[in-house]
Structure 1
Amino acid sequence: MQLFLAMFFNVIMNVIDIYSILLIIYILMSWVPSTRETTFGRFLGKITEPYLGFFRKFIPPIGMIDISPIVAIFVLNYLIRAGVRQVYVIIASLV
């Protein structure tokens, strides 16, 4: 059971890492707007915009700079990752 739990935890952490990379790629694609019109750009938009849109509701752009993606990546990599780690520790201690 411990092995399964550890493997599941690693899969969740890898998914968070991959999603973070996809967010960064999507953000960098905004520097060349025509890249978002490609099939890959539209696919990334469908995956990342719901998450980024949540932060854009609360964090307005500063001039022409949108800082909501920075906050979104910070939340994903620090808060959500820490939450998943805490849940793992709690479940592992019960098993």
Structure 2
Amino acid sequence: MQSLLMILDLVLSVVWFFIIAHVIMSWLISFQVLNVRQQFVGQIWYGLNRILEPLYAPIRRILPPMGGLDLAPLVALLAIMAIRIVVSNNIGYMY
């Protein structure tokens, strides 16, 4: 059981990293530091979008429109933190 929880923690850590990278890239693209027309940047950007859109879509349906401000990554990060806290606090009960 501990192995499954470690794998879950690893998956949550990877998703956390992807979300942080996506947020930073969106800021850099918005401030025109990065250009999506560059092949490498475009591939990373569209790859992250394809990975994270299934995670963001249900959150965006629940959140009200904020006028250009996307809070879906913040809610996803909070959900990941909550899952990690619940798993780490209850790991003793799973033996």
* Same-fold status (TM-score > 0.5): yes
- Alpha carbon RMSD of aligned pairs, Å? 2.4
2:90 and 2:2 mapped to 1: Cα distance? 12
- Identity in percent: 24
1:27 and 1:53 mapped to 2: Cα distance? 16
1:23 aligns with one of 19, 22, 25: 19
- Which stretches in structure 1 are left out of the alignment for 5+ residues? none
Q: Which amino acid aligns with 2:14?
A: I
2:94 aligns with one of 88, 91, 94: 91
1:27 and 1:54 mapped to 2: Cα distance? 18
Deviations 1:1-40 (A, max 9, x none): xxxx323322211210110110111122222054496112
1:12 aligns with one of 8, 13, 19: 8
Q: Could you state the TM-score of these two structures normalised by the residue count of structure 1?
A: 0.71
